[in-house]
Amino acid sequence: MKTRVETTGAPKVTGPFSQAIVDGNFIYTSGQIYLTTEGKLLEGTIEEQTHQIMKNLKAILEAAGINFSNVVKTTIYVTDMGVYGKINEVYGTYFSDPFPAREVVCVQALPLGANVEISMVAIKQ
């Protein structure tokens, strides 16, 4: 049976989706952009924006009773592969070996004009 994960530690959902869903031992997060908990895009560098995304995801994972060590797969969407190296540097500080499987997809646009979005799949062990 699937259940919704909801936390005030991440931006409030404004559409027909959940911050995350737990189904059995799996947790699937919705893609997160660099919104603050007040629902505003964080102004700043791509590194600061990536930290905001990871902060949002951390709050969602914690609301599901897990943390980054439980993440098995991530997807990163970017609108400019030229900033990927900076995103990767920040992203890498949140994980340790063995790192989650990952893909990076370059897209034309993201919600609210964001430049990066990250989603995760995790498993409770």
> 25-64: per-residue pLDDT in tens?
999 999 999 999 999 999 999 999 999 999 999 999 999 9
- pLDDT at residue number 14: 86
The answer to whether residue 113 scores a pLDDT higher than 90 is yes
As a whole-number percent, the residues of the chain with pLDDT over 90 amount to 97
Tokens 């902060």 found at: 55
Classify 95 as helix, strand or coil: coil
Check residue 35 and report its DSSP letter.
Answer: B
Residue 98 tokens, joined: 């063995």
Predicted pLDDT of residue 49: 98
Q: Which residue is associated with the tokens 């989603």?
A: 119
> Is pLDDT of 66 > 90?
yes
The secondary element (H helix, E strand) that includes residue 120 is strand 116-123
Q: Which of 32, 43, 39, 52 is nearest to 12 (CA)?
A: 39
Q: What does the pLDDT average to over 16-33?
A: 97
pLDDT at 125: 82
pLDDT for the residue 1: 85
Mean pLDDT of the chain: 96
Other CB atoms within 10 Å distance of the CB of residue 90: 19
d(CA 115, CA 117): 7
